[in-house]
Amino acid sequence: MRLKNYPMIQFSFFLPQACILLLASDSLTNILALHHLLANYSVKQRMLVLLRESFFAFIAMFALYGLALGGLKVLNTPVCAIEVVGGIAVTLAGVRAVLRLGKEESWIPYKFNMSPSHSPCISPIALPLMFGPSWLAACCTLIARNHNTLINFQILILSWLLITLATFSLQIFCKGNKVLLATQTVLGLFVTIVGTQLLVSGLQQAFL
């Protein structure tokens, strides 16, 4: 019975932590910016570009994880400090999405106006619009929990799958600026909740 239930126990352990990384991902708080970049593309072209960027994001995810792990070990940062700072960063990203403080116009220089075969190899989608400061802050809180490397990698891969599915769904199936704005506002609220939860957890570890 234990062996039969072990995969389910593993999944129930990984899923909540992967969902934290999903909600902290920058693609959920930059929906309008991503839509603005891909506005001139057909559905098929969007899928091709997002597929390419998701592959880049997969590589970038492990690179950012390695940099964060090395930096935190060198600095010997206390867990409570990581939780507090990570919570603040995620909360600010959520508030920015709710209040629509991120200006889509700032991404005009990077806007795709060509076919995918001639589009630039380096674009701002994978970094920082999918895996950016908010995701990195949540990743640091994951590292602070001192799971072994294999567990962290499994959580990262599951979160990447969820982030990729969410990004594809939002950019392919959501139509109209008003729908996207409403979706970004609602998701920003959940991101704010997750960030506040991380912040409170860090404060509890520091003072209790």
Q: pTM (2 decimals)?
A: 0.87
Residue 104 is encoded by which pair of tokens?
């889509």
Taking the C-alpha atoms of residue 91 and residue 106, their distance in angstroms, rounded to an integer, is 22
> What pLDDT is attached to residue 1?
44
Average pLDDT, the chain: 86
Domain ranges of the chain: 19-207
Distance (Å, whole) CA 86 – CA 91: 8
Whether 121 has a pLDDT exceeding 70, the answer reads no
For the stretch 37-93, pLDDT in tens is 888 888 888 898 899 999 999 999 999 999 999 999 999 989 999 999 999 999 999
- What residues contact residue 125 under an 8 Å CB cut-off, 6+ apart? 34, 37, 49, 50, 53, 56, 57
